[in-house]
Structure 1
Amino acid sequence: MATDIQQLHHITAIVGNPNEVLTFYRDILGLRLVKKTLNYDDPYTYHLYFGNYDADPGTIITFFPWENKKMGELGDGQVATTIYAIPENSIDFWAKRLTDKGVDFVRGSRFDQETLLIKDFHNLNIELVEKNWGKANTYAVDDITPETAIQGFAGAIIYSHRPANTLHFFEDVLNWPVVDEDAVYTRLQAPGDHKEWIDIRKTPGTFGTMAIGTVHHIAFQVDDEDTLVYWLDIAQKEGYKASDIKNRDYFKSLYFRERGGLLIELATKAPGFTWNESLENLGTELFYPAKHQAIIEVVKKKLTPLDF
């Protein structure tokens, strides 16, 4: 049993109108809608998954569209920015594409790497950075090609209420080494092939409010359920209050909150997104957890129709 945590699995955020999510992530950023399902705890809310063409772990961003809800506040205990890897020499393409689509962005840099910082339609921070992710994304939208398409996660910026504790979690529990730091951030790097970055802000602020425009949790990949059991024991020994192991249909997972306030999920890489839908047809059919079967016809009538 391989117990190391090598990479990100997915990031889940709370948003508003689901069709605005489709417009931004599918039609502008060029990500593929790979699964259309319902929230396990709230069947009247979609759970939408976007990623690369193959729906690989490490490319998946998921959303709970909470319509007619208030906006959240960014703060400690949250992923502040989701960072995407774009191919080398593609940042000017993305600057032009965003301009043509009417999306504002800010050019910046961190650790001597040029960045494009965007806010989506629900105030989530999305950043693009050139990074060799190792696998091209073949999903095509407009003039996006494998030479320019978003490949997967380059990492995330974390706001922590106790930065030293969050650093301990990544460095000493996950064994992700520190590779750089400046006056604002400490950067750690995943040991896996994609070498995602976690940039932890050094100065605490105030806790954020979880609602529209905030990240709900960040998930890291483990091999299988036996590995989840192994990490559940570690989480408990570290004093983190952990959930039991949950079946999420496309992976099994457990949750705990590290001491800086960040909600962590560990998720298995199997069975993946193609066990109930072919690769070619991903994202075309509405699936739902079995526990919603008794009310599914009522739920369908109340869901916002999605634009296709």
Structure 2
Amino acid sequence: MSSNTSPPLRTDGLHHVTAISSDPQANVDVYTDVLGLRLVKRTVNFDDPGTYHLYYGDEVGSPGTVVTFFPFEGASGGRVGRGQTSATAFVIPQGSVEYWIDRLESSDAVDVDDPIERFGETVVPFRDHDGQPLELVTGESDIEPWDGGPVPAEHAIRGFHGVTLDSLNPDATGDVLETLGYERVGTAGERTRFRAADDRAAVVDLLDRPDGDRGRQGVGTVHHVAFRTADDETQEAWHDRLAEAGLQVTPQKDRQYFRSIYFREPGRILFEIATDGPGFDRDERVAELGTELKLPPWLEDDRESLEERLPALEVDRSIERTEGVN
């Protein structure tokens, strides 16, 4: 379906964020044991199958909750700066700030800063074991917290709040965000806030830092940001709309758990538009998500060699919920 006959297009917010990390076991430890997210899928980087692709989110990996990683052991550290996503933010409930500060400060794997106020919300900035900037932001979310992890449900992360983009061309990036259906809702200093129409994972903050250092991709940096679309039909409409706007958009790629198109916006940040389905339970029962290495059909013949190359991963499942899941 072309964009000329489609209903008005708008994204419902973020689908997922993909970053680059180092040691895969350390990555699992931080995002499951410290942050309390669920490892919902262990697969490989389809473009570099000798490396894991690890997905973390809520119980089922709902769109708007999933942070993913390419863990490259021994890779060089990156530098967060202009031309990159400079922070990924998660929602925590009102009243949970002190709990999270205590939890993060008690971990040797992360570095936490004092909370700040931003657009009327409390923000707890911290960095993971690779130095990647993360934030916890008080707010509301329609995501039910996963109650099978180490964080009590009343304090648990409820999906994404949003991301901060440190663009090399903020005006042009802002135009792209508006093409995606985001609305400018406020400005504070060098930061302009954009919000999607939906309430989940709806926020994108855009920085204007003309004198800031340019970023360098590597360990501790975000690789790309993905926005939601409902299905193949709307994704095709997005492809047409973005191409008409002069952006170089890839053909659709099958990522097994969603389908994707990619483009690099004028501020040099890699964007993806991903379908909501088919979801992470297409090849594992919900109770067993993330327990086995899952490969796409075209890599199954290489399973033995891949399993020999990939390091073993241990996930503490001793307190996961086992009842009430299919």
Q: Which band: TM-score by shorter chain?
A: over 0.9
Distance 1:195 1:140 in 2: 22
The amino acid that maps onto 1:59 is T
The amino acid that maps onto 1:224 is D
**Cα 1:104–1:74, aligned 2, differ >3 Å: closer, same or farther?**
closer
Distance 2:267 2:182 in 1: 17
Distance 2:103 2:201 in 1: 27
* Per-residue deviation, residues 213-267 of structure 1 (Å, max 9, x unmatched): 1100000110111111111111111111111001110011100011011111000
Contact kept? 2:121, 2:139, Cα under 8 Å: no
Q: Secondary structure at the match of 1:264?
A: strand
Compare 65-74 and 203-212 and name the one that shifted more. Answer: 203-212
What is the deviation of 1:175? Answer: 2.1
Match of 2:225 in 1: 218
Tell me the TM-score normalized by structure 1. Answer: 0.96
Distance 2:283 2:306 in 1: 21
Are 1:31 and 2:31 matched, yes or no?
no
Match of 1:110 in 2: 118
Contact kept? 1:241, 1:256, Cα under 8 Å: yes
Are 1:174 and 2:180 matched, yes or no?
yes
Compare 133-142 and 259-268 and name the one that shifted more. Answer: 133-142
Q: Secondary structure at the match of 2:277?
A: strand
Match of 1:101 in 2: 107
Contact kept? 1:71, 1:211, Cα under 8 Å: yes
| Aligned with residue 198 of structure 2, among 192, 195, 200 | 192
Contact kept? 1:31, 1:139, Cα under 8 Å: no
Distance 2:213 2:235 in 1: 31
Give unmatched runs, 5+ long, in structure 2.
1-5, 316-326
Are 1:137 and 2:137 matched, yes or no?
no
Match of 1:59 in 2: 65
Match of 2:21 in 1: 15
**Cα 1:141–1:195, aligned 2, differ >3 Å: closer, same or farther?**
closer
What is the deviation of 1:290? Answer: 2.1
| Aligned with residue 309 of structure 2, among 291, 302, 307 | 302
Compare 234-243 and 249-258 and name the one that shifted more. Answer: 234-243
Contact kept? 2:38, 2:149, Cα under 8 Å: no
**Cα 1:16–1:195, aligned 2, differ >3 Å: closer, same or farther?**
closer
Match of 1:121 in 2: 129
Q: Secondary structure at the match of 1:136?
A: coil
Q: Secondary structure at the match of 1:37?
A: strand
**Cα 1:278–1:256, aligned 2, differ >3 Å: closer, same or farther?**
same
**RMSD of the alignment, in Å?**
1.3
The amino acid that maps onto 2:204 is I
Give unmatched runs, 5+ long, in structure 1.
none
Contact kept? 1:9, 1:221, Cα under 8 Å: yes
**Cα 1:195–1:12, aligned 2, differ >3 Å: closer, same or farther?**
closer
The amino acid that maps onto 2:246 is G
Distance 2:10 2:53 in 1: 28
Q: Pairwise mapping of residues 79-90 of structure 1 onto structure 2 (< 5 A)?
A: 79-90=85-96
Question: Structure 1 segments of 4 or more deviating over 6 A?
Answer: none
What is the deviation of 1:299? Answer: 1.4
What is the deviation of 1:305? Answer: 0.8
What is the deviation of 1:179? Answer: 1.1
Are 1:203 and 2:205 matched, yes or no?
no
Match of 2:3 in 1: none
**Cα 1:303–1:80, aligned 2, differ >3 Å: closer, same or farther?**
same
What is the deviation of 1:195? Answer: 5.7
Match of 2:171 in 1: 164
What is the deviation of 1:206? Answer: 4.2
Contact kept? 1:136, 1:147, Cα under 8 Å: no
What is the deviation of 1:174? Answer: 1.3
The amino acid that maps onto 2:174 is L
What is the deviation of 1:293? Answer: 2.4
| Aligned with residue 242 of structure 1, among 236, 249, 257 | 249
Q: Secondary structure at the match of 1:82?
A: strand
Are 1:291 and 2:298 matched, yes or no?
yes
Match of 1:266 in 2: 273
The amino acid that maps onto 1:222 is T
Distance 1:10 1:267 in 2: 8
Contact kept? 1:155, 1:197, Cα under 8 Å: yes
Distance 2:117 2:267 in 1: 26
Contact kept? 1:32, 1:139, Cα under 8 Å: no
Contact kept? 1:15, 1:212, Cα under 8 Å: yes
